[in-house]
């Protein structure tokens, strides 16, 4: 069986193999250091994969953020950078690409996603207001809280269950949302923060029916919807594959229809949009845009560059166009799925169904003997690095941080280690190597001990926290 063939392609082509829709023009050699060197590197990094040097990593699955390979067209676009301080032609190209593919009227470039999150949070949240969302994302929630907002998780319960096979685990539970609205009043809701796919739930999609129903509810109550569009192209793939009536529609059409239900979006272009740095914020409302355009000057740069060079905006405009090509997104998700199927066949606990950008190892089931306060997902990331030099990331209790009121750990139900696949970077052979390393760590699971945190930063602690072995 050829695992790389997503179901839709398999049906189309029967048993014929199918490969990545690109060939390699330039290579970057990989280096693998010895186990002793890896042990030393891990200790120096305080058992935190964020603190490792990239040079000491063999296959880097820390994140799919800014790690994509750009195309020859994007590299050519770098040379077309118009580095004028104001009114760069690359800005207008970017604006046109966002308008065409995402459909929003006004576009503000930002240096990356969190720059956009900062601006939208400061302009659209009044202190004390609630911000319901389909599960939190680290930087998103922090910016909402720094603006005085109170985040409320309104995702369906299935999202918190790593074994549930619900096809759209990113969906909003409309009953939870209605309940919140009737408790606090619609005027106390800043906006709905809707992400597709949902990173922290395992890259799980939101259905078109769900965003449509959400729009109806919000229209009745006069509430705005803003999208975290970071992985919305991947979300469109799942709609095309799983939702009735969308099999014959293109990714670009589905993406556009989804966005049409929202009032605006922020974007970490380092993910779906295939660039190494960049972001944007886009809204339909004229007066909100006025405010954003004013605020971006304070924090990012003039409203026609927002912290980006002209060449960055050019590669981003081209990246947007490439990201919505059906064969690109099928290959991207097909590769993630290939790795997921190998691990599933070997009975290694991973979040099901496999999502869009990563495999999430379920550290609770992987290490049932390690209590959550001893950081099982962080432990698993450290063990993987030690085994083979593969770098992954914790998405569990360390990432969840502390409750700002009580000071106690947030204790998320999901305790996961994320193997995130960069776009257009690794081959199927790399995926085989990764799967075999996970299996080796799984085989040695019973003798593995947990970790203790020895240093804890105040904000987004998972980035810089240090640990030692118990």
Name the residues that contact ligand PLP, by CB under 6 A. Answer: 65, 112-114, 137, 139-140, 195, 199, 228, 230, 268, 270-271, 279
395 is catalytic: yes
In angstroms, the CA 109 to CA 316 distance is 10
Instruction: Tell me how far, at minimum, the Cβ of 164 lies from ligand PLP, in Å.
Output: 21
Q: Which residue of the set 271, 330, 332, 461 is catalytic?
A: 271
- Cβ closest to ligand PLP, residue 98 vs residue 441: 98
Instruction: Tell me how far, at minimum, the Cβ of 347 lies from ligand PLP, in Å.
Output: 29
Contact in structure between 225 and 132 (CB atoms under 8 Å): no
Q: Which residue of the set 58, 101, 137, 168 is catalytic?
A: 137
Instruction: Tell me how far, at minimum, the Cβ of 186 lies from ligand PLP, in Å.
Output: 25
- Cβ closest to ligand PLP, residue 42 vs residue 233: 233
DSSP SS3 for 11: helix
CA proximity to 229, closest of 140, 168, 129, 298: 140
85 is catalytic: yes
In angstroms, the CA 315 to CA 77 distance is 6
Closest chain position to ligand PLP (CB): 113
Q: Which residue of the set 13, 16, 73, 85 is catalytic?
A: 85
Encoded tokens for 181: 């609205």
- Cβ closest to ligand PLP, residue 102 vs residue 366: 102
For the chain, how far is it from start to end, CA to CA, in angstroms?
43
- Cβ closest to ligand PLP, residue 213 vs residue 460: 460
458 is catalytic: no
CA proximity to 283, closest of 253, 252, 302, 262: 262
Q: Are strands 416-420 and 358-362 parallel, antiparallel or unpaired?
A: antiparallel
Instruction: Tell me how far, at minimum, the Cβ of 139 lies from ligand PLP, in Å.
Output: 5
Instruction: Tell me how far, at minimum, the Cβ of 183 lies from ligand PLP, in Å.
Output: 27
In angstroms, the CA 31 to CA 174 distance is 49
362 is catalytic: no
- Cβ closest to ligand PLP, residue 266 vs residue 375: 266
CA torsion, ordered 257, 258, 259, 263, to nearest 10 deg: 120
Whether the bond between 120 and the residue before it is cis, its omega within 30 degrees of 0, is: no
Contact in structure between 323 and 332 (CB atoms under 8 Å): no
Instruction: Tell me how far, at minimum, the Cβ of 388 lies from ligand PLP, in Å.
Output: 25
137 is catalytic: yes
The conformation of residue 409, written as its DSSP 8-state character, comes to B
Q: Which residue of the set 332, 391, 395, 461 is catalytic?
A: 395
Contact in structure between 392 and 421 (CB atoms under 8 Å): no
- Cβ closest to ligand PLP, residue 193 vs residue 352: 193
- Cβ closest to ligand PLP, residue 228 vs residue 374: 228
Instruction: Tell me how far, at minimum, the Cβ of 161 lies from ligand PLP, in Å.
Output: 20
Q: Which residue of the set 130, 191, 367, 462 is catalytic?
A: 462
In angstroms, the CA 124 to CA 201 distance is 25
Place of tokens 């923060």: 193
Q: Computed from CA positions of residues 347, 206, 411, 409, in that sequence, does the dihedral angle turn out positive or negative?
A: positive
- The residues that are catalytic are 85, 137-138, 228, 271, 395, 462
């Amino acid at each position: 069986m050829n695992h790389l063939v997503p179901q839709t392609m398999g049906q189309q082509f029967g048993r014929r193999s199918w490969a990545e829709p690109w060939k390699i023009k330039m290579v970057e050699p990989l280096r693998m250091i010895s186990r002793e060197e890896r042990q030393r590197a891990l200790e120096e990094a305080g058992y935190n994969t964020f603190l490792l040097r990239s040079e000491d990593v063999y296959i880097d699955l820390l994140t799919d953020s800014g790690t994509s390979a750009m195309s020859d067209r994007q590299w050519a676009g770098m040379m077309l950078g118009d580095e004028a301080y104001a009114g760069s032609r690359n800005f207008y190209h970017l604006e046109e690409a966002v308008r065409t593919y995402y459909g929003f009227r006004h576009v503000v470039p930002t240096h990356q996603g969190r720059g956009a999150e900062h601006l939208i949070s400061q302009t659209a949240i009044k202190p004390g207001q609630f911000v319901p969302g389909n599960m939190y994302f680290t930087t998103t929630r922090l910016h909402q809280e720094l603006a005085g907002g109170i985040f409320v998780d309104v995702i369906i319960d299935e999202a918190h269950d790593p074994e549930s096979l619900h096809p759209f685990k990113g969906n909003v539970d409309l009953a939870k949302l209605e309940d919140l609205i009737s408790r606090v009043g619609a005027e106390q809701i800043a906006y709905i923060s809707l992400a597709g796919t949902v990173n922290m739930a395992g890259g799980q999609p939101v259905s078109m029916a769900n965003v449509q129903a959400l729009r109806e509810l919000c229209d009745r109550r006069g509430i705005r919807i803003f999208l975290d569009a970071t992985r919305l192209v991947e979300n469109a793939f799942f709609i095309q594959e799983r939702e009735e009536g969308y099999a014959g529609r293109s990714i670009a059409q589905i993406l556009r229809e989804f966005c049409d239900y929202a009032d605006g979006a922020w974007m970490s272009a380092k993910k779906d949009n295939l660039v190494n740095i960049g972001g944007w914020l886009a809204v339909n409302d004229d007066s909100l845009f006025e405010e954003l355009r004013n605020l971006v000057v304070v924090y990012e740069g003039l409203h026609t560059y927002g912290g980006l060079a002209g060449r960055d905006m050019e590669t981003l405009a081209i990246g947007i166009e490439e990201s919505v090509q059906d064969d690109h997104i099928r290959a991207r998700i097909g590769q993630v799925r290939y790795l997921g199927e190998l691990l599933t066949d070997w009975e290694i606990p991973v979040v099901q169904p496999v999502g869009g950008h990563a495999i999430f190892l379920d550290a609770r089931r992987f290490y049932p003997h390690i209590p959550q306060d001893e950081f099982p997902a962080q432990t698993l990331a450290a063990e993987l690095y030690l085994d083979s030099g593969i770098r992954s990331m914790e998405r569990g209790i360390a990432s969840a941080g502390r409750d700002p009121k009580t000071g106690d750990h947030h204790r998320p139900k999901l305790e996961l280690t994320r193997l995130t696949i960069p776009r257009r970077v690794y081959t199927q052979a790399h995926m085989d190597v990764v799967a075999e390393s996970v299996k080796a760590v799984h085989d040695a699971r019973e003798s593995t001990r947990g970790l203790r945190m020895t240093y804890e930063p105040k904000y987004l602690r998972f980035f810089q926290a240090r640990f030692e072995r118990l």
